[in-house]
Amino acid sequence: MNLTTKHLAALNITCRVLIALVGGYVLAALSAILVALLLPGDIINSIVSALMLSFIIYTVTVLYVFATKTTLRAGISVFALCILMYCFVRHLNGIAVL
Amino acid sequence: MSWLHTWAGFAFGWLLFFIFVTGSAGYFENEIDRWMKPEIAIVNTPIDDFTILNKAQQQLNSLAGDGAQWYISYPSIRDPHIDISWLQLANTELDIPRQWHEKNLDPYTNNAISSRETSGGETLYRLHYNLHYVPIMVGYLVTSLATLFMLIALVTGVIIHKKIFIEFFTFRTGKGLRAWLDIHNIFSVLPLPFHLMITYSGLVLLMGISFAPVIDATYGEGKKIHRQFYDLFQVEDQQQQFIELNTADLSLETALKDAKVRYKNQAISYLGLIDRHTSQPSFEVWLDANEGIEFATLITYRIVNERVQIAQSIGKTHSAAQVYDILEHLHEGLFAGTYLRWLYFISGLLGAGMIATGMIIWVNKRKKQQTRLINVIDKLNAAVIVGLPIAIACYFLSNRLLPSAMPDRAEWEMHSLFIAFALCGVFCALRVADKAWQNMLWVAAALYAFIPLCNMLTTEHNLLLSAQKGDWLMLGFDLSMLLFSACFAFSAVLLQKHTSKIAI
């Protein structure tokens, strides 16, 4: 019994780390792409501003993933946000989402 | 949050310590360079700008008559010496590769001096983002990831601090773990703005690589397109005007004369002659920037439509590039004068201290478990935290002790650093942890004390002579080494007292 709880805890932590690192990166990159596409004016300015912002999004995502009550909830929220961002990006690029 | 702080800090702790220490050394890149080139002639009396130009041109004419580019570096406070460099174009017939040459110029004897082959301050500070032995991209990505962990550790560190202001003034000595926590807080909170600035700007400097997919998706994929993106991003607005000067008279002398009239109070940083093998050469005058955080300003003279035109940058075109520039300048601190430079260096070392104390706390909290792993980490902490300074000392010593004609000498200086680092690891692994810390601290103290001595024995420089000749960089370096030695010895004595107290 004890061993399984321990294993579960380890699995839980591993999942959170993966969601935070991989999910956080994908979310930060997608949001940066979205910001770059949405910002008005010169594309170079937009891209650089978006890149500078990406680290803040990444950090906030990591904090969120570890501050949320359950791992499942953290996973679902990050995943859902990624999908949402992805659809927006496709839409802005004039590509049909589905 | 506390969990995240602990593990985000721990995961890349050793690498971050390495980044902070080698990066801090970078603030004294030029000063380290001077020490590692003991042959060069120091200029400490003011010399007329045109005299320097004449002497340098004489040398360049005889040494680099076919050089495609010439540069003459003027003496400054940080680099009180005259250097000439030139670009040798590739010649397939004679089997000469395209390469840069550099020599130091002694204005008193008119000799061109070649200094020993050395990796210098530059290779040392580049370690903090290229990690030397790994492919450059791997170095960038690994250091970026470590820096992200640093940012997370910093932010969570602030969050878990409820009484940040009170703890700022709290230091409880001799209380074991409590004392370590207090010192960790001081190292973290005192220079917190520096830590946040250096971490965030470090991430931004490499953002084009760590977040390359964003550029892929918005601008275009491939190395070439990315290169184009950077070039476009860094474009500068130019102010151009024609001046009243005969095209036949355009030379480095006339360019220098004109620039000195335009900017009376600014010192000359260096002069350049570009494309001198073509019919369209351009003449560059670089001035020391005397305000703000810019490094230098450039005026270019060239012939356009049979008239002499001068061009000057009036800043980056893109506003985002201006923000990026501010972050870059803040990170590199090239604008800093002596006092600010020391503040940068000390802040960097406090950052290293913050990481080191964090690692020590991590071990101390788990020492009661007495597991093998904790024990090994304790030993490796000593191997990294004291071992890295030892390795850097060996880097400096190798500059004096390796034979001057040795092939790949510069590269072997770097190897010396890593060999010493590895030996520290082996030594610590074989010792009991407490003993390892103590021995390592004494070794570090001895090595740093030996550096000025070795300088005295192998070159004509010593503390007294440097003071007499006004060679402040050489003197400052040697004295700093003695100061480091004293710090290590002091730590060793403190640790000795502490362990004997516990033994009783």
User: Which of A27, A43, A46, A55 is most worth mutating to test chain B (most B CB atoms within 10 A of its CB)?
Assistant: A55
Please answer yes or no on whether B219 and A47 come within 8 Å at the CB atom: yes
State pLDDT tens for residues B406-459.
999 999 999 999 999 999 999 999 998 888 999 999 999 999 999 999 999 999
Please answer yes or no on whether B218 and A50 come within 8 Å at the CB atom: yes
Burial label for A3, CB within 10 Å (0-12, 13-18, 19+), is: exposed
A32 chain-B contacts, CB cut-off 8 A: 211, 214
State pLDDT tens for residues A66-94.
999 899 999 999 999 999 999 999 888 87
Give the model's confidence band at B210: pLDDT under 50 very low, under 70 low, under 90 confident, else very high.
Answer: very high
- Residues of B at the A interface, defined by Cβ within 8 angstroms: 1, 3-4, 148, 151-152, 155-156, 159, 200, 203-204, 207-208, 211, 213-215, 217-219, 229, 232-233, 318-321, 323-324
| Min distance A40 CA to chain B CA atoms (Å) | 13
Question: What is the rounded CA–CA span in Å between residue B113 and residue B105?
Answer: 6
Please answer yes or no on whether B207 and A45 come within 8 Å at the CB atom: no
Q: B76 near B473, Cβ under 8 Å?
A: no
Q: A37 near A46, Cβ under 8 Å?
A: yes
Question: What is the rounded CA–CA span in Å between residue B318 and residue B324?
Answer: 10
Give me the pLDDT at residue B173, please: 64
| Min distance B373 CA to chain A CA atoms (Å) | 18
Question: What is the rounded CA–CA span in Å between residue B56 and residue B273?
Answer: 12
| Min distance B347 CA to chain A CA atoms (Å) | 23
Phi, psi of B27 (to 5 degrees): -65, -20
Closest residue in B to A67 (Cα–Cα): B1
Q: A19 near B204, Cβ under 8 Å?
A: no
Q: Where are the domains of chain A?
A: 2-92
ipTM of the predicted structure? Answer: 0.92
Tell me the CB-side half-sphere exposure of residue B105, using CA atoms within 13 A: 25
Question: What is the rounded CA–CA span in Å between residue B15 and residue B129?
Answer: 10
Nearest partner of A23 among A78, A98, A71, judged by Cα: A78
Closest residue in A to B150 (Cα–Cα): A59
Please answer yes or no on whether B217 and A33 come within 8 Å at the CB atom: yes
State pLDDT tens for residues A12-63.
899 999 999 999 999 999 999 999 999 988 899 999 999 999 999 999 999 9
A59 chain-B contacts, CB cut-off 8 A: 148, 151-152, 155
Between the two ends of chain A, the Cα-to-Cα distance in Å is 46
Please answer yes or no on whether A59 and B323 come within 8 Å at the CB atom: no
Model confidence at B504: pLDDT above 60: no
| Min distance B197 CA to chain A CA atoms (Å) | 13
Q: B21 near B351, Cβ under 8 Å?
A: no
Question: What is the rounded CA–CA span in Å between residue B209 and residue B50?
Answer: 44
Write the CB contacts of B295 (distance below 8 Å, at least 6 apart in sequence): B289, B329, B334, B335
Instruction: Write out the two tokens for B282.
Output: 């351009």
Q: Which of B18-22, B154-158, B469-473 has the highest mean pLDDT?
A: B18-22
Q: What is the mean pLDDT of chain B?
A: 90
Q: Where are the domains of chain B?
A: 1-39+118-235+328-369, 49-114, 370-504
State pLDDT tens for residues B381-399.
999 999 999 999 999 999 9
Question: What is the rounded CA–CA span in Å between residue B156 and residue B79?
Answer: 41
A48 chain-B contacts, CB cut-off 8 A: 233, 318, 320-321, 323-324
Give the model's confidence band at B175: pLDDT under 50 very low, under 70 low, under 90 confident, else very high.
Answer: low
B151 chain-A contacts, CB cut-off 8 A: 55, 59
Write the CB contacts of B404 (distance below 8 Å, at least 6 apart in sequence): B116, B117
* Nearest-5° Cα angle at A12, A10 to A18: 100
Instruction: Write out the two tokens for B188.
Output: 């973290």
Question: What is the rounded CA–CA span in Å between residue B279 and residue B306?
Answer: 12
B158 chain-A contacts, CB cut-off 8 A: none
Please answer yes or no on whether A45 and B319 come within 8 Å at the CB atom: yes
Q: What is the mean pLDDT of residues B210-229?
A: 92
User: Which of A18, A22, A37, A52 is most worth mutating to test chain B (most B CB atoms within 10 A of its CB)?
Assistant: A52
Instruction: Write out the two tokens for B24.
Output: 């801090």
Per mean pLDDT, which range of A23-27, B236-240, B288-292, B439-443 is the poorest? B288-292
State pLDDT tens for residues B66-95.
889 999 999 998 899 999 999 988 888 888
Burial label for B405, CB within 10 Å (0-12, 13-18, 19+), is: exposed
Question: What is the rounded CA–CA span in Å between residue B67 and residue B82?
Answer: 18
Question: What is the rounded CA–CA span in Å between residue A10 and residue A4?
Answer: 10
Give me the pLDDT at residue B171, please: 66
A52 chain-B contacts, CB cut-off 8 A: 204, 207, 320, 323-324
Give me the pLDDT at residue B166, please: 65
Helices (H), B367-504: 372-385, 387-401, 409-430, 433-458, 463-469, 472-503
Cβ neighbours, 10 Å, residue B313 = 15
User: Which of A46, A59, A71 is most worth mutating to test chain B (most B CB atoms within 10 A of its CB)?
Assistant: A59
Helix (H) or strand (E) holding B326: helix B319-332
Nearest partner of B42 among B88, B89, B75, B1, judged by Cα: B75
Residue with tokens 């004016």: A41
Helices (H), B64-103: none
